[in-house]
Amino acid sequence: MIPVTFELPYLTLAGIRTRISASNSAADRDDKKPPLTVLALHGWLDNAASFQPIIQALQERAQKDPLGIHRDIDFIALDFAGHGHSEHRPKGAWYYFTEYVADVATLMDMQDWSNVHLLGHSMGGYVAQMLAAAKPEQVQQLTVIEAMGLWFGAEGNLVTHLQKALEHRSELRSKAPPCYKDLQRLVRMRAELNDLSLDLARLLIERSVVETPSGFQWRVDPRVRLASPIRFTEMHAVDMLKSIKCPMEVVLGDRGHENLLQAVNNWQHYVQNFSQITIKGGHHAHMQEPEVIARILADCAR
């Protein structure tokens, strides 16, 4: 795994990148295919390190079963703007959901990526679905973990939600960023919050903080934590799902967010080519059971 940066016209995105190579015998086949580009998009307040267990599982799978992967996998895990090592948005800008979509769409166009396999967790899964709907000619496959459709607001509360969002935005201006002396305390808190082992929580925390003379501070832009002033509606979710042309697989954790299975039951018939599996784990099931996601990706690289 190597660190990588991508210069957008208005922002620098960071991430990690690795190449899982097919076996020599597979690579020498006459019908050798071009590398499979996997673009991994993390959840809210997470970062690219959340996909390190999957990368490791893919590498181990390639070693144990050299003939199981017929083409190279170019695996890119991004830090969204304001997360991890990516830049913060300029002063006066905000972190609307659609801006994350626009960032990745711009990156895909600049890199001339086509036939991309989008792998998204939680917020990254919602971004991935929107991208698959908006740019069907560039997305070959969609795998989303603990996400389905869109988060939408209840009807009739638009003004109330907007008022709260504006109030929180105003309050943020007077808040000083917190500073922590004990990194291990942050690791333990994250492990408890997300039902993760200490080792998995440490992956997320170490990429999310920067050490200063006063202690550890969050790399995450405080504006990321603010709610969007406008919510989508259920009809927006339905319209998006109807526009997804590629195969879509939803992976849920058996201890994940309870409302997601109901969302699958309500909306799966809107997607042309849909499948869903449930695996052991919580909301971060892809970190707890990375071998399952590695198998899905390896199967797509056949």
Is it the case that residue 27 has pLDDT exceeding 50? no
SS3 at position 134: helix
pLDDT of residue 24: 58
| Domain spans, the chain | 2-154+233-300
pLDDT tens-digit readout, 174-216? 888 899 999 999 999 999 999 999 999 999 999 999 999 999 9
Architecture of 2-154+233-300 per CATH?
3-Layer(aba) Sandwich (3.40)
For residues 133 and 241, give the distance between their C-alpha atoms in angstroms, rounded to a whole number: 7
> pLDDT at position 206, please?
98
| pTM higher than the cut 0.85 | yes
- pLDDT at res. 46: 98
Question: Strands 209-212, 215-218: parallel, antiparallel or unpaired by DSSP?
Answer: antiparallel
Give 206-257 pLDDT, tens digit per residue.
999 999 999 999 999 999 999 888 889 899 999 999 999 999 999 999 999 9
The pLDDT score that the predictor gives to residue 152 is 80
Q: 80: exposed, middle or buried (C-beta count within 10 Å: 0-12, 13-18, 19+)?
A: buried
pLDDT above 80 for 28: no
What are the tens digits of pLDDT across the range 116-127? 999 999 999 999
Could you read off the pLDDT of 62-109 as tens digits, one per residue?
998 877 788 999 999 999 999 999 999 999 899 999 999 999 999 999
288: which residues sit within 8 A by CB, 6+ positions away?
Answer: 196, 200, 253, 280, 281, 282
Instruction: Tell me the pLDDT of the chain averaged across its residues.
Output: 93
128 vs 15, 26, 100, 147, 223, CA distance in Å?
16, 30, 10, 10, 22
Residue 155 binned pLDDT confidence (cut-offs 50, 70, 90):
low
